[in-house]
Amino acid sequence: MKESIQNKGEKVKIASRVLAVTGTALKDKALGIIAEEIDKNREAIKVENSKDIDAGRAKGLSDAFIDRLTLNDKRIDGMIKILHDVINLKDPIGEIYNMNAMPNGLKVGQMRVPIGVIGIIFESRPNVCIEVASLTIKSGNGVLLKGGSDAIHSNVCLIRLIKEGLKKAGLPEGCVEIIEDTKRESVLEMVKMKSFIDIIIPRGGLQLIRFVEENSVIPVIRHDQGICHTYVDEFANIQMAVSICFNAKVQRPGVCNAMETLLVHAEIAPAFLPLMWEKYAEAGVKLRGCEKTKKILPDITDAVEEDWSAEYLDLILAVKTVESLDEAITHINQFSSHHSDSIVTDHYGNGMRFITEVDSAACFINASTRFSDGNEFGLGAEMGISNQKLHVRGPMGLKDLTAPKYIILGNGQVRL
Which pLDDT does position 123 carry in this prediction? 84
Residue from 366, 367, 377, 370 nearest 399 by CA: 377
Q: Residue 188: how many CB atoms within 10 A of its CB?
A: 13
Label residue 1 by pLDDT band (50, 70, 90): low
Domain borders along the chain are 5-223+383-409, 228-371
State the pTM of this model: 0.88
How far is 54 from 44, CA to CA, in rounded Å? 16
- Give the C-alpha separation, 249 to 255, whole Å: 10
φ and ψ at residue 28, rounded to 5 degrees: -65, -35
Angle at the Cα of 394 from the Cα atoms of 388 and 398, rounded to 5 degrees = 115
% pLDDT > 90, the chain: 89
Give residue 92's identity as a one-letter amino acid code. P
pLDDT beyond 70 at 240: yes
Question: Residue 2 above 80 pLDDT?
Answer: no
Please tell me the predicted confidence (pLDDT) of residue 64: 81
Domain 5-223+383-409 belongs in CATH node 3.90.470.20:
no
CA distance 213 to 384: 16
pLDDT per position as a tens digit, 82-91: 999 999 999 9
At residue 221, the 3 state secondary structure works out as: coil
Q: In the CATH scheme, what architecture does the domain 228-371 have? A: 3-Layer(aba) Sandwich (3.40)
Q: What is the mean pLDDT of the chain?
A: 96
- Report, as an integer, the average pLDDT of 203-213: 88
User: What b/e sequence results for 301-326 when a residue is b if at least 16 CB atoms lie within 10 Å of its CB, and e otherwise?
Assistant: eebeeebbbbbbbbbbbbbbbbeebe
